[in-house]
Amino acid sequence: MTDNARPREDATVHERAAGTPAPNGEAPAADPVEALVREAAEYKDKLLRTLAEMENLRRRTEREAADARTYGIASFARDILAVADNMERALQALDVELRETADAGVKALLDGVELTERELLKVLDKHGVKKFEPAGERFDPNLHQAMYEVPDTTVPPGHVVKVIQAGFMIGERMLRPALVAVSKSAPKAQTAGQSNN
Report if residue 193 sits inside a domain.
Answer: no
Q: Please give the Cα distance from 75 to 94 (Å, whole number).
A: 31
Span 105-130, pLDDT tens digits: 888 888 888 899 999 999 999 988 99
Domain span at 21:
7-67
Residue where one domain finishes, among candidates 21, 44, 67? 67
Tell me, what amino acid is at 5?
A
- pLDDT value of residue 1: 47
Q: Does one domain contain both 137 and 102?
A: no
Measuring CA to CA, how many Å separate 75 from each of 45, 81, 133? Answer: 45, 10, 21
- pLDDT value of residue 190: 43
Report if residue 192 sits inside a domain.
Answer: no
Average pLDDT of the residues in 10-31: 54
- Mean pLDDT: which of 7-11, 26-30, 150-154 is highest? 150-154
Task: Please give the tally of structural domains in the chain.
Answer: 3
Measuring CA to CA, how many Å separate 80 from each of 42, 120, 123, 133, 170? Answer: 57, 9, 11, 18, 13
Residue 84: closest CA among 139, 133, 142: 133
Span 132-155, pLDDT tens digits: 999 889 999 999 999 999 888 888
Report if residue 2 sits inside a domain.
Answer: no
